Amino acid sequence: MTDGNRFWTVFVREVRGVVRTRTYLALGLVTGIVLFGLAHAGGGPAGGYVPTVVDTLVAVEVLVPTLAFAVGYRAIADPAVRGELDILDTYPLSTWSYVGGVYAGRALLLLTIVVVPLLALGVTVATTAGPETTVFASHRGVDSPFLFIRFIALTVLYALSSLTIAFLLSALAGSRGRALVLALAGLLVLTVGSDLAVFAALDTGVTSSTLGGALAMTPAGAYRGLVFDQVLYVAVPGRSAFVPTWVAALSLLFWWGLTFVGAMLATDAA
């Protein structure tokens, strides 16, 4: 059996496991209710795709890492507690095949929970957007389903990066109790702590001219900056960039790669 076959076997096992867990179905329902509730409260679906992104962006920025940590915080800690990792050492199963298969299964679950409600919201906008979209037309702005698809694509990248961070903390935990503590701490740092640290650094070298680049170094800041630059500012001509786009894109890829490799090394050491 090749590494690819072993990866696929672990992936299928993980998918079967999450399908049997009804808690994840509840997470998807709650996510959909929150997104639709916020969008309709703000009047976004009647106004168009960009107003809908404006109404839901803050919630998505918090929901995505929260769901990622809910899905991944015990992904490696649980098998370690049950001794599965010790048993796996006796099989010809590489760490890449195991961690990659588990990650791919959980990523499929996470993206289903996040993307399906967003796609449904996009369909709602397509079928209900009314004359309010002329607000953007009067300001020479644009509104397009492609902007909403771009928003979903950036959200997928943010979700995958958040999930690898959750995997790394899960692999470092070594027990279910520490996994929960590390997940809560990691979620707090990811959602608000990193941005607060950047703003605190304003007194130690970070200036207003370099603030955008500094914000792009954090996963949340990079995601927010990319959404502003590639979705919202496109509809508002003349606005300057919130963060350097290429720096923000590389930052998310860097966090994804760094924490994925870290998760494999930590699993090896567990």
Average pLDDT of each block of 10 consecutive residues along the chain (270 residues)? 81 88 87 89 78 89 92 87 76 84 94 94 82 49 81 95 93 84 84 72 66 80 88 69 82 92 86
Tell me, yes or no, if the pTM score tops 0.95.
no
Span 100-146, pLDDT tens digits: 999 999 999 999 999 999 999 999 888 876 655 544 444 445 678 88
Span 134-153, pLDDT tens digits: 444 444 456 788 889 999 99
Tell how many helices (H) and how many strands (E) occur in the chain: 14, 0
Q: Amino acid identity, residue 230? A: Q
Report residue 109 as tokens: 């679950």
- Asked whether the CA dihedral 76, 78, 81, 82 is positive or negative, the reply is negative
Q: Crossing angle for the helix pair 22-42 and 95-128, nearest 10 degrees?
A: 30
Give the pLDDT of residue 258. Answer: 93
